[in-house]
Amino acid sequence: MGVEEEFLLADAVTREAALVADAVVEAAGRLAGDGHVVGEMALAQLETVSGVCSDGSQLHTEVMRLRRCAARAAGEAGCLLVACGTVPLGDPGPPPILDKPRDHAIAARFGALVDQQCANACHVHVGVPDLEEAVQVVNHLRPWMPLLLALTANSPFCGGRDTGHASWRAMLWSRWPTAGPPPYLRSVDHYEQVVAALVDSGAAVDPAMLYWSVRPSRHVPTVEVRVADVLPDTEDAVAYALLVRAMVAAALTDLREGRPALPVEDAVLRAAAWRTARDGMSGQALALPLTGPPRSVPVWHLTKALMGHVQGHLQAAGDFDTVRRWLSRLRRHGTGAARQRAVYMCTERLEDVVDALAVADPAHHGVAPDRMGRAFRDGTVQPT
């Protein structure tokens, strides 16, 4: 498995989006190693790319190392590395258009869709070498994607206001014609036909522009789950990745034992994803992965069902306690989105929200981000 995390760069004084990714990526790359910190669509954004990991301990070490390298480089540039799905303060502006045919084609074809596209996700890759199996694993995972979005929602604020959604990042990405839930795929041939049709239609300039919430990767032999906001802490990101790996393992077991995936309608799945993007873990969700017609149930009821589905695989890998502790923290203190709103309710300052999400840089972290970050993580936010 491997994890890719996208982060916001915020000015350490104003807490607004800082358009300095080029310099920070270069400096972070020297610390982390070639290819482990890369640029993204916006100049106020970067992405860390883990190596391939085989267990939770190895993944934790790798994710923490990359976060610290990126935070160190951001600090040297006068910035904070912020684990938030959107830009709470400031304007990231339109992304730069590189002088390459593909970038010019995207800009010409999609126009203003590329503006304000500083949206930070967490992508988890799980090894599935056989493409036919990978396609069928996607079918088994797709009904669970709205729940994973609810568990990881971490972007209620954008551009200086509360959006009314727990994951506004999901809404920003949903504007793209190839974003959202994947279709039910009958086979590898069907998958390739769908990809070709999307490219031929102009909805994607190439197969790499399939932005489905879960998909077979085009460049490595994995299933890639792309539905989550970037998570606040290393522990959150690792536990989430371990849960995803167990879900892939459960899907492979179901597939090999002849249990078919539930063919949930695309429109219903998209509606379920919007509901969890709006409410996070605080409301109801459509029980799409369960038997029977779609119906609303408490989100935590669905979470319990998911844990029952993957418990054996988590235990076999030694990951059950890690994931259970993460879910217990979510139950006590709320998702990143809920905790962001708790900070704002106490201080009425989005600057404090940014501070709460700043990744600690051991060499350059400031007092305010460190204090607010601790309160954010342990659920002890207090009015000032």
Tell whether 256 is covered by a domain.
Answer: yes
- Domain that includes residue 90, residue range: 2-378
Tell whether 323 is covered by a domain.
Answer: yes
pLDDT at site 219: 87
In DSSP terms, 39 is beta-bridged to 46
Tell whether 368 is covered by a domain.
Answer: yes
In terms of Cβ atoms closer than 10 Å to its own Cβ (0-12, 13-18, 19+), residue 298 is middle
Q: Which of 233, 178, 278, 344 is nearest to 7 (CA)?
A: 233
- Count the neighbouring beta carbons within 10 Å of the beta carbon of residue 368: 16
- Cβ contact 202:147 at 8 Å: no
Domain count, the chain: 1
Per-residue pLDDT of the chain (384 residues; tens, 9 = 90+): 999 999 999 999 999 999 999 999 999 999 999 999 998 888 899 999 999 999 999 999 999 999 999 999 999 999 999 999 999 999 887 777 656 788 788 888 998 888 777 899 999 999 999 999 999 999 999 999 999 999 999 999 999 999 999 999 999 999 999 999 999 999 999 999 999 999 999 999 999 899 999 999 988 999 999 999 999 999 999 999 999 999 999 999 999 999 999 999 999 999 999 999 999 999 889 888 877 788 899 999 999 999 999 999 999 999 999 999 999 999 999 999 999 999 999 999 999 999 999 999 877 644 445 555 656 666 666 543
Tell whether 310 is covered by a domain.
Answer: yes
- pTM of the prediction? 0.94
Q: In Å, what is the CA distance from 7 to each residue of 40, 164, 231, 357?
A: 9, 22, 10, 10
pLDDT at site 370: 55
Tell whether 383 is covered by a domain.
Answer: no
Tell whether 116 is covered by a domain.
Answer: yes
Tell whether 384 is covered by a domain.
Answer: no
CATH number for the domain that contains residue 138: 3.30.590.20
Tell whether 98 is covered by a domain.
Answer: yes
Q: Please name the residue that has the structure tokens 């304007």.
A: 91
Q: In Å, what is the CA distance from 362 to each residue of 15, 71, 72, 263?
A: 19, 9, 8, 48
